[in-house]
Amino acid sequence: MTSAQTQSDAVCAKVCSLAELVAIRTRLKAEGKRVVFTNGCFDLMHPGHVRYLREARKLGDALIVAINSDRSVSELKGPARPILREMERAEVLAALEMVDFVVVFDDLDPRATIVALLPDVLVKGGDWDLSQIIGREEVEAAGGLVTPLPFVPGVSTTEIVARILQGVQPS
């Protein structure tokens, strides 16, 4: 087996179904590990995503990233999105060392996934007001922490796509 195959197998092992993640979460909880959860479309990875995920991982022992399915991204962002398909987005996220697990969810919001996993820490970007963070009530009721992380201005996927379409160089 080549080094590339080994890396690919390791990346694929990080992409799980919700049922698999529930079992993993149960094991991690029994081991006293602190699980951090975040979610989003993660359509085009950019420095804002990387910085955000790095900070999220520092808050616990394992980081779970839930990504919207292609169907839900299209419904949320419009028919031109997603740019990358869900398994491509999952593969890119799983390749990041700070990401421990990736799961795809098909709902417009992650509430059912959050309720199934009940992470110790739920994080969202600082562009989300605490009162708007979906799953906050459930996580806090279970004794967990909900925290926004700093938002990196100027590097959202929507802004990058607009610059590409307009042929504008980054400032």
Q: Is 63 exposed, middle or buried (0-12, 13-18, 19+ CB in 10 A)?
A: buried
pTM of the model: 0.87
pLDDT of residue 159: 75
Q: How far is CA 3 from CA 94, 95, 96, 97, 118, in A?
A: 17, 14, 17, 16, 35
pLDDT of residue 54: 96
Q: All domains of the chain, ordered by start, with CATH? A: 3-166 (3.40.50.620)
- Report d(CA 90, CA 85) in Å as an integer: 9
pLDDT of residue 7: 46
| Residuewise pLDDT in 10s, the chain (171 residues) | 555 444 445 556 899 999 999 999 999 999 999 999 999 999 888 888 999 999 999 999 999 999 999 999 999 999 988 999 999 999 999 999 999 999 999 999 999 999 999 999 999 987 778 888 999 999 999 999 999 988 766 667 667 777 777 877 766
